Every structure is written in C-alpha cells, then in structure tokens.
Structure 1
Amino acid sequence: MSENPSNNEYWASNIRLVTYCLVLWAVVSFGFGILLRPLLSGIMIGGTDLGFWFAQQGSIIVFMVIIFFYAWRMNALDKKFGVDEE
C-alpha cells in the first residue's frame, strides 16, 4: 500500500503547526510564568507584577488565542489539501 505524497505533506504541515503551538504555549506558561518570573517582577500590570500575571492570566489568554489560531490554520490547511468539510 503506497501512501499519497499529499497525505504526507498534509500531516507534516499539521504536526508542524501543532509543534509551533505547543512550543509557544510552553514558552508563555512555563517560561514567562515560572522561569522568567524574577526578571518580570519589576513590571507592573493590572496591580500585580508581570510574571505573576503570566502565571495566572496570561497563559490562559494565550492558550485561548492558540486554540482559535489552530482552528483557523487547520481550516486553511484542510481547504489547501481538499479535505475540508462541505
């Protein structure tokens, strides 16, 4: 059974998109919220320091943005490879 090259390209694009989204999520939630928190503690936003804000609110907001971005990009990839829903 031979695989269609466009299927391989579709899944490679899908995995690349998932990887980018997960890296961004990790950088924002773990990087800014935990590792870089001491560096961000002097910057105030919303009555608290930026490191705490990223740990409590920023990572959630970025995660929601990533969800909508992923859905938008996957719809574009589906149309590009002809596997979109009618």
Structure 2
Amino acid sequence: MKVIHKYVLTEAASRVTTHEGARFIHAANQYEQITVWAEVNTLERECTAELHVVGTGGGVPPRTRHVGSVLMADGAYVFHVYAPEETR
C-alpha cells in the first residue's frame, strides 16, 4: 500500500528507516525542524536511507538528488536536503 511518511532530520547525515523504492518528495520547516515527506510502499521490504542536510555553500553529496530547500530562523539560514538516487 502506498502511503506518505514523514521524517524529522536532526543531523547533517540522518539515517531513516523506510521501504525500498521510497520517493522523497518534499522538505520543509515544520515547527522549526527540518522535515521530509516520502511516498512509501509499505508492502516493499524495509531498508535504511541516508538523507543529507547541507547549508548553502556546502558540498553536494555524491549519488543523491535534491529534495528541497528549507528556510530556518525566519530565513536567516537556508538548508538543502538530499536523498539517495534510489532506496534499496
């Protein structure tokens, strides 16, 4: 069954438990926390995905794709969220 899951990222590199084929679709500031949403098929096997949070000017992690940019502290800081190209 395909559902939407939410993940709160607390580190520059956060490992989250998800399912194979998960598609990370949105990143935003929710309650002053960097939060990511994904389309997940819960019938697929569980796996771990490493999501990266990079400040403006930081390096883009290899083999990742941009999920979204998040404004924090009323826009004083901008962070960019990257997810693996594939989750397996």
Q: TM-score range by the shorter chain?
A: under 0.3
Q: TM-score, normalised by structure 1?
A: 0.24
Higher relative helix content: 1
Q: TM-score, normalised by structure 2?
A: 0.24
Larger radius of gyration: 1
